[in-house]
Structure 1
């Protein structure tokens, strides 16, 4: 009997030791997996920056040359330049998709909510998508519930979701109609806005619907497929919607069409104090905008990158705009000319610390702290600069539509 008990104790002891060893091995494997994921995310972030920098130059210069070719009606250059521009933007979209996915997986995707007018926002989205619809001879229709009001969420992420869904609808529909409708609805007593994007395109079967939100999944995955893309757009859109407290659902039938429904809370959860601060900041911004409007515009570019200076001059310089470049280490006393600047444009891509120092100096100066500041920066630095009082962040790639949208409110 004693021998049996002793054997049982030995077996239990061995089982306990084996379990502890297995637990230790599992914890070590988990640590290694987290470390490997971190290394992957860091690598993708660094590679994204290194790839975006030359792409930004390629896209900017190609846009300039394409406009010149169209003005002179030079047929030998119009089509090749358009092809370079399309390919560059397609490559940039692939890079952005892969980086977004890595950020979400690593838990590093930050949300930057703000209050904005839904009607104005949707009109901007519609303008961005009209060319996509015309490409396949489609008609884009937008219907908004009256008095729909404002939304408090991450406007950049929401725009990304809607542009991706409308782009897909345009891509898979020919000679049809893409309709986007906006309505208010309550989900579990919480106010939401529902964005419905409906098309009458090729549609999907049940098997395709079941895999729709998987990473790298495409409707047509054959080697000879017609449609470009990584298959990450819908996966990323669903993850972003979930991060904002919302969701994306879909209904589809082959040869009838597809309906996507994006539901986003009217207000992202946060404290009342933060809400009041944001609303106060919004009102202050509006009042400052009114006070800084002038008949003529002096734009001061604080930048050591000659290419970026030339790009900004190309897009912004006109009879009513005067652009003057300064080095990033310029003493702010030089900015106090007889004419008050309309806006400061600071490029943080060359030296982030010097850019932040300049912003802080301008914010503390009594004669210059009311002049709006626009910073050219990376997405991951956006909130840092907004917290410093920057009015707008201009993200890479720098293109004519982005510049026009941001600077239109500062230039008379």
Structure 2
């Protein structure tokens, strides 16, 4: 059995009297003061450790609000322990309440209460705050509290409410319950009560700093996430670029092989116009060159669209004629694979307003893809008119597209696996370009696909265009009629033309092509390769027209144009700029420098003939 020692009551009275006497000495009071200050620092250190833990978790906290909530809850828990039996709460300001309505609506709401066991036990019968007026306020989460009551708690003694501010103003209020009365004979507790105000104020200062640090950490974390996402996107883009360059290299080298190979055959065998095989070689060279140009145009078109620089030329399109024309382009490829081509035209789907060249490009892309992913069966084009829209549906009996790959269909440079061909074909631009061209027409793309059951892509376009687009199309039609008249003029004048053209071109092959073509039309051509030779030629010639390349080896064409405009003897000579600069704004740049017109490379010989006929009659030899 446990033995309990007992002390005579008279001895307790002596010890108590002795302690009271000792406590009143200066040395004892100083010791008690130090103990109270140590208690204050210990409480603040514990609060700071808990806050630091919250900050360390900020990087993994989903939102800034969650991080701030953790800091607020930590503050009320730690202050509740430090203040003993007092309940502690934080009320957040209601930013939705206007200043003019503070009297009728609560300004704050209690959002955080102490959760420690000690605080919960203490607040069972002490969860109220008493105002000077005798009004009792209940401290419970969700309880509204007016600004007037908070200000009374702040101003009364002992103070029971404190403001927590940041750079934007008051963000919350800290509220403490009524403290217990200090029992006589407890000098240390009395000293702690005196330091209560300092404890709360320094705690709030630590909380304010922690909230600012939390927001800063969250901002840095957000920047890190954004940088990480950008880095992943750059990695993905770099991978796509490598794949794109590899595929593009293959696609470009294939037609180039045909062009170079059959050109060498013609050179070795000696070209004979009557040789049918040689005519076939020439057709292959021409088709390969056109295919090569189409690849380059796809890349340029997508760049123009992404830069909002591509314009569509609207006109009335003969739907049956356009569909038959585009099917003719893929007929040979279908025949080589043993596939059937089918055209299903609804009788009254006859015309629409669109850019015929771009519409043909869109349908060609879809048909080419259908043929690429079909090993046997049929590829078809169906056209139906529905209300004010016309539907062009390209369907096939091919391999189909998985759900995962469907999400990548219209992303540029993306290609899905082709089990039919056994390798990637194309540049991965066809569907992306088609999708963007359809949107430029005011339409959209629909598609359905199922593995091993084929696919179908539908281009939905409005039958008519907006007034501004129709006007653009009418202007284009008028321009084409004018060009047809000019072409007729060229044909009629070819036998009598005797104008001199000064050709400024540094590329020998381009110069020979233009020289040969213009001489065949009846023009005299003097060819020079650079700016220095041009000035020498002008000393003894009076050309009716200058055909100038913009990118010359010694002086750029823009500078030459400006120099010609500044020279009184040469400023009246019309200059046509010919250049590989084919982006939007290049034409305007050339005209601003002094050119009368512009033609882009590769040179369209018929278009060149129209321009030369238009401007070469200004001077004649």
TM-score by length of 2: 0.44
Aligned to 2:131: none
Does structure 1 conserve the Cα–Cα contact (< 8 Å) formed by 2:447 and 2:456?
yes
Q: Does 1:217 align with 2:410?
A: no
Q: 5 Å matches for 1:394-405?
A: 394-396=600-602, 403=604
Residue in structure 2 matching 1:111, options 310, 315, 332: 310
Partner Cα distance (1:287, 1:209) in 2: 46
The alignment covers a number of residue pairs equal to 369
Relative CO higher for 1 or 2, CA cutoff 8 Å, sep ≥ 6? 1
Give CA-to-partner distance per residue, 1:196-233, whole Å, 9 cap, x none: 2233x4241544545544553324269x8156334443
**CA distance 1:132–1:210, change in 2 (3 Å):** same
Q: Report the secondary structure of 1:132's partner residue.
A: helix
Match in the other structure for 2:484: 289
- The yes-or-no answer on 1:377 pairing with 2:572 is no
Contact 2:316–2:353 (CA under 8 A) maintained in structure 1: yes
Describe the shift of the 1:408–1:262 C-alpha distance in structure 2 as closer, same or farther (beyond 3 A): farther
Contact persistence 1:118–1:149 (CA under 8 A): yes
| Structure 1: gaps of 5 or more residues | none
Counterparts of residues 251-266 of structure 1 (less than 5 Å):
251-253=448-450, 257-265=454-462
Q: Could you report, residue by residue, the CA deviation over 1:10-63 in whole angstroms, capped at 9, with x for unpaired residues? A: 321222332444466678x49987xx79x98xx99xx99xx9xx9899886666
1:195 corresponds to which residue? 392
CA separation of 1:326/1:177 partners in 2, compared to 1, >3 Å: closer, same or farther? Answer: farther
Q: Could you list the runs of 5+ residues in structure 2 that have no partner in the other structure?
A: 1-78, 80-199, 614-621
Q: Secondary structure at the match of 2:363?
A: helix
1:384 match: secondary structure: helix
- Residue 234 of structure 1 corresponds to which residue in structure 2? 431
Aligned residue in 1 for 2:216: 17
Q: Describe how 1:68-79 pairs up with structure 2 within 5 A.
A: 72=272
1:305 counterpart = 2:511: no
Q: Does 1:150 align with 2:357?
A: no
Cα distance between partner residues in 2 of 1:264 and 1:117 = 13
Deviations 1:93-142 (A, max 9, x none): 777766766x389x425212212342365565445334333333445455
Contact 1:182 1:196 in 2 (8 A): yes
- C-alpha change, 1:241 and 1:288, in structure 2 (3 Å) is closer
Summarize the Cα distance change of 1:9–1:381 in structure 2 as closer, same or farther, 3 Å threshold. Answer: closer
Query: Residues of 1 paired with 2:472 and 2:460: CA distance?
Result: 26
Tell me whether 344-353 or 227-236 shows the greater mean CA deviation. 344-353
Deviation of the 1:148 alpha carbon: 0.3
Q: Distance in 2 between matches of 1:24 and 1:255?
A: 45
Deviation at 1:8, TM superposition (A): 2.7
Q: After superposition, give the CA deviation of every residue in 1:51-90 in whole Å (9 maximum; x if it has no partner).
A: 9xx98998866665566669556989x99x979x96x988
User: CA RMSD of the aligned region, Å?
Assistant: 5.7
SS across alignment from 1:380:
coil
Q: How far did residue 175 of structure 1 move?
A: 6.8
Taking the aligned partners of 1:183 and 1:209, their CA distance within structure 2 comes to 25
TM-score normalised by L of structure 1: 0.61
* Rg comparison, structure with higher value: 2
Structure 1 match to 2:370 = 169
Q: State the partner residue of 2:443.
A: 246
CA distance in 2, matches of 1:115, 1:355: 36
CA distance in 2, matches of 1:70, 1:89: 24
